[in-house]
Every structure is written in structure tokens, then in C-alpha cells.
Amino acid sequence: MARISSYPLDQDIVGNDKVIGTNYTGQITKNYSLQGIANWLNSKGSVAIAGQNNFFFQDASGNTGRLVGSMSFPNFGGDGTQFTNILSMRFSEESAADTYIMDYMATLVGKNVILAQTDNLNNFGVYQFSTITQNVAEPLFWDITFTPIEGNGALLADSIYALAAYPGGGTGDANYVFNQLSPAAVWTVAHNLGKWPAVTIVDDNDELIYADVEFVDNDSLTITFSTAVAGRAFIN
């Protein structure tokens, strides 16, 4: 096998391109597609974005009951439920990234949030986050109630959903929407909110994307991508 440094660089990267790696189970060498890696990162929320937490929608208990990293209705079911009809759901105390996040979730009470399908942001609901209560019978899960504001589309079983603070409304504090009209690898955002806010980013197709966020001070931050991108940043 030739030295890796001798292979040419691919300047036209697509999702079907592959990289070689080792499977943890069995230590077997395998090919991994870039799209597969991206899907895993999306499902786990492994690229951290402040204020965003991912869950998969579980519509059936199966043989294992309610699963870690899931969101579901108290009696399961609900595949095809319109976002505007969601009034309460039961959330795992750990997100799909296996991270305990209920201390953060409690700060959202009274504020507006968005629940959106990570691979299709046209499926979303905007709500006021009304209450959060630990379930007595299932203490690893918390019941959250919502007041619907607007939405589009419906829940799909086993799809991944991001729950994040949403700009505007609620009894929460100030927010700011930054528009990057021309593609750039670094966005410089002067939000003037006087704090280190949560940041949610979408590209110019309104698809959720991930990047490195660096807080310069309480009134400004930078967002750095691996390639030039246009889109919006919701600062809350």
C-alpha cells in the first residue's frame, strides 16, 4: 500500500465518498461514507451547538420500553401527529448524545422553543415551553408541556428532532437573527445582547448545520465553518 501522503487530494467531496476506519465491535476495518458519518453526527448531536439537544421520536415501546435519548408520547403512538397538535411529550433526561440536559431544559420554561426534524427543517413546531416535571413512574424521563404557536408537517417515527430555544416571544430575554447573505467560512456576529447566548445555525436552504462558535465577548461571537457557507444564525 502506498503512503497516504502520495494520494491526490479530492477537491470535489460528496456524501458517497468513503474513508477507512475500524469498527469498535470486532476491531474490523471497514469503509465509512461521509454521508453516513454526517448522519451519525446529526443523530447524536455530537458537534456541540449551545442550546440545541437532539432526540429521536419513539412511537412504540417494543420489548425494551422507553429508550434513552428518546422523546415520546406518554402512551406511545403518535406517528403522523401534526406539530401544531403537540401539547405534551415525555423526554429522556439524556439527549441522543447520552448527555444529561435537564438542568438546561429547566431554563427554557416560559420561553419559545423550536422542535425541528434535523434532516428536513420544513417539519417543525414553535411553542412556548410551559412546564417540565420529572415523571414519578419513570424517573429517567421528564414530562414537558407546550403551548403551540406555529408549525408545519408532522412527526415521523424514529426521525431525529432538535429542540432549541427559538428567537422571539415568550417571557425570555432578548434575541438576534444574523443573516450571512454571501458564503463565508467565518461569520462575525455583533449581537449586542450583553451575554453568551445560545446559537442555532441554518444554511441558505434552512437546513440545520454545525460549526465552531467562539464567544469574543458578551456582545459578539464568531462562527467558523470548514467551508464557505451562507445562511442565518439565531442568537438567543
One digit per residue, the tens of pLDDT, for the chain of length 236 reads 566 667 677 677 655 767 676 776 767 777 766 555 555 555 555 444 445 789 999 999 888 899 999 999 999 999 999 999 898 999 999 998 888 999 989 989 888 999 999 888 899 999 989 889 999 999 999 999 988 888 899 999 989 999 998 876 554 456 677 889 899 999 999 988 888 888 888 888 878 889 999 999 988 999 999 999 998 888 87
Asked whether the beta carbons of 204 and 187 are under 8 A apart, the reply is no
Grid coordinates representing 119 are 434532516
User: Which single residue is written with the C-alpha cell 434552512?
Assistant: 206
Instruction: Return the C-alpha torsion angle 106, 107, 111, 112, nearest 10.
Output: -70
Domains and CATH numbers, the chain: 18-47 (no CATH), 48-165 (2.40.30), 176-235 (no CATH)
Q: Is 208 exposed, middle or buried (0-12, 13-18, 19+ CB in 10 A)?
A: buried
C-alpha cell at 37: 458519518
Rg, the chain, Cα only: 19
Query: What does the angle CA 104 – CA 56 – CA 130 come to, to the nearest 5 degrees?
Result: 40
Kindly report whether the global pTM for this prediction surpasses the value 0.95.
Answer: no
C-beta of residue 32 within 8 angstroms of C-beta of residue 18: yes
Quote the CA–CA distance of 21 and 41 in Å, as a whole number: 16
Number of helices (H), then strands (E), in the chain? 2, 13
Give the DSSP letter of residue 30.
Answer: E
- Please list, in sequence order, all residues whose beta carbon lies within 8 angstroms of the beta carbon of residue 138, skipping any fewer than 6 positions away: 66, 90
CA 25 to chain centroid: 27
SS (H, E, C) 152-219: ECECCCCCEEEEEECCCCCCCCCCEEEEEEEEEEEEEEECCCCCCCCEEEEECCCCECCCEEEEEECC
